[in-house]
Amino acid sequence: MTDVVNPLRQGLAGDRLPEPTTVVIFGASGDLTRRKLLPALYTLAAERLLPANFAIVGFARKPMTDEAFREDMRQGCERFARARPLDPAVWDAFARGMYYQAGDYEDLAAYQALGERLKAIDLERGVQGNRLFYLSTPPSTFSVAVSRLGAAGLANASRLTPYSRVIIEKPFGTDLATAETLNRNVLQVLDERQVYRIDHYLGKETVQNLMVLRFANGLFEPLWNNRYVDHVEITGAEAIGIEGRGGYFEQAGILRDMVQNHLFQVLAITAMEPPVTTHADDLRGEKVKVLKALRPIPEGRFGEYVVRGQYVEGSVAGRRQVGYRQEPGVNPTSNTETYVGLKIFIDNWRWGGVPFYLRSGKALPKKVTEVALVFREAPLRLFGDSARTAQSPNVLAIRIQPDEGVSLRFGAKVPGNTLDIQPVNMEFRYGTSFGTEPPEAYERLLLDCMLGDQALFTRGDEVEASWRWVGKIHQQWDSSAEPVETYQAGTWGPAGADLLLQRGGHAWRRP
């Protein structure tokens, strides 16, 4: 496998040009391909980040010509690409390297035919055999697709070059057992260095900035521990409901959909030790240590650590939102959670005794993802303790989205001849400081995979460690007859969510 230098250590993304590559997308007739993957690849092309010798092959069961595929993808890019409007010259060159191959995911002959087509494309486009297979199909097809790739001689596990890499979409398993099975099946065919498990939160600029904030500055890291931090709040709130995905969400719930993957990755990056290098395995090794150090929920005290909720009818930002049980595809007596709040302790030297509160929910008042470190109060109230000198703790809030940025709250003297103290904020905003919006996560992740950099992809043991912890909650819920709490759509979750923090003398921030 080609060993690459991690770009986090380098300057601009423009330094990095992948080798000639063919990207093969399984499930190319689907929503993700049209809405995210092709728009991301087109934007990379428009920003000259793709190699000149480059091709895309869409693979799915639906019969389609190359022309029809190109037209469908053009419409997707016109609507969703960050680099809009499309530049006709860039589009024409990009579309010339785009092909479509119909086939069944189970059928070995279809993979052999795909292999022949790829050889012809190698010659036509000068790609030299490097292949990136993107599994953008339902999770039930992941194992079989990898196994057929191996049987058709497309997996190349024993060869460093040309490379074969496989990106696997989420969800990676639905519990520990299924994740272990999928890891086993995949690793029977591929080497771990060929496997790129997507968690699109890792592709977000602001999640990467969390590492930069911590490890490229001398100021924060000395304070980043239980001596100075009182508690940490991680919020992944969404204003939308389940948006027609009733069938999927009934099986998943918010704990599987958002927490086991996205929020746990954010938690791991917030809490990990400084890695020795930014090389993928050093970084992922530190994240795994955090996930392994999560304290099991104490027997008989589940309610003090876990809260779940489900939205009922309400209004979100002036828009009427039907209740979860009234959504299409949802069982009218469903107990599936659309909100979860967790209190977590990380049993290691850095974080011993510091509660990490996590929450994620649908149909909350607004979309916001943030990490907030709430610091311990000053040891002495030198200025007394009245309403006018009320001191609130310092808070470092890292806004992952939207209004990406960082703010630091501290107390300041109100101008005047009296000693009034008020909290004020020192702010950094991406938009104002850099005059640009952060790129789409899928752009970064596709580019990194072509460059052979796994740092922003999850490793097999990481995924298993997070399922191991989360699975205990599912087991408890499955064995309990207690109904899910409800909350009105457009509010900040069920009453139990506030109690979760009140017990520790804390309160959720209103981000």
Residue from 112, 128, 141, 334 in contact with ligand NDP (CB under 6 A): 141
Q: Residues 147-186: x/- map of binding to ligand BG6 (CB under 6 A)? A: -----------------------x----------------
**8 Å CB contact between 383 and 414:** no
Q: Residues 316-355: x/- map of binding to ligand BG6 (CB under 6 A)? A: ----------------------------------------
Q: How far is the CB of 310 from ligand NDP (least distance, A)?
A: 22
Cα–Cα distance, 476 to 255 (Å, whole number): 13
| Bridge partners of residue 58, in order along the sequence | 25, 100
174 near ligand NDP, judged by CB under 6 A: no
Residue from 169, 238, 327, 404 in contact with ligand BG6 (CB under 6 A): 238
Tokens of 130: 């490097």
Q: How far is the CB of 238 from ligand BG6 (least distance, A)?
A: 6
Half-sphere exposure (CA, 13 Å, Cβ side) for 17? 9
Cα–Cα distance, 439 to 456 (Å, whole number): 15
3-state SS assignment for residue 300: coil
Residue 458 binding: pick among ligand BG6, ligand NDP, none (C-beta 5-8 Å cut-off by kind): none
Tokens of 56: 């895309």
Region from 137-145, 303-311, 321-329, 439-447 binding ligand NDP, contact rule CB under 6 A: 137-145
| Surface-to-core class of residue 427, CB atoms within 10 Å of its CB (0-12 exposed, 13-18 middle, 19+ buried) | middle
Cα–Cα distance, 296 to 240 (Å, whole number): 31
- The gap from C-alpha 488 to its chain's centroid, in whole angstroms, comes to 27
Tokens of 127: 């790609």
DSSP 504: T
3-state SS assignment for residue 20: coil
Q: Report CA dihedral (7, 13, 17, 23) to the nearest 10 degrees.
A: 90
Q: Which is nearer to ligand BG6, 238 or 462 (CB)?
A: 238
3-state SS assignment for residue 182: helix
Tokens 């991406």 belong to which residue?
430
Residue 32 binding: pick among ligand NDP, ligand BG6, none (C-beta 5-8 Å cut-off by kind): ligand NDP
370 near ligand BG6, judged by CB under 6 A: no
Residue 29 binding: pick among ligand NDP, ligand BG6, none (C-beta 5-8 Å cut-off by kind): ligand NDP
3-state SS assignment for residue 53: coil
Residue 384 binding: pick among ligand NDP, ligand BG6, none (C-beta 5-8 Å cut-off by kind): none
474 noted as active-site residue: no
Q: Which is nearer to ligand NDP, 139 or 496 (CB)?
A: 139
Residue 238 binding: pick among ligand NDP, ligand BG6, none (C-beta 5-8 Å cut-off by kind): ligand BG6
- What is the side-by-side order of every strand in the sheet holding 131-135? 98-102, 54-60, 21-26, 131-135, 164-168, 195-197
Q: How far is the CB of 367 from ligand BG6 (least distance, A)?
A: 7
Residue from 2, 10, 14, 31 in contact with ligand NDP (CB under 6 A): 31
Residue 122 binding: pick among ligand BG6, ligand NDP, none (C-beta 5-8 Å cut-off by kind): none
Residue from 233, 257, 443, 464 in contact with ligand BG6 (CB under 6 A): 257
**8 Å CB contact between 371 and 394:** no
Number of residues forming the site for ligand NDP (CB under 6 A)? 16
Residue 156 binding: pick among ligand NDP, ligand BG6, none (C-beta 5-8 Å cut-off by kind): none
Q: How far is the CB of 30 from ligand BG6 (least distance, A)?
A: 14
Query: Residue 194 region, left (φ>0) first, then alpha (ψ -120 to 50), else beta?
Result: alpha
Q: How far is the CB of 389 from ligand NDP (least distance, A)?
A: 49
Rg (CA), the chain: 24
Q: Kindly identify the residues of this chain, within the stretch 207-266, that bind ligand NDP according to CB under 6 A.
A: none
Q: Tell me which residues are annotated as active site.
A: 262
| Footprint of ligand NDP (CB under 6 A) | 27, 29-32, 60-62, 105, 136-139, 141, 169-170
| Footprint of ligand BG6 (CB under 6 A) | 170, 238, 257, 369
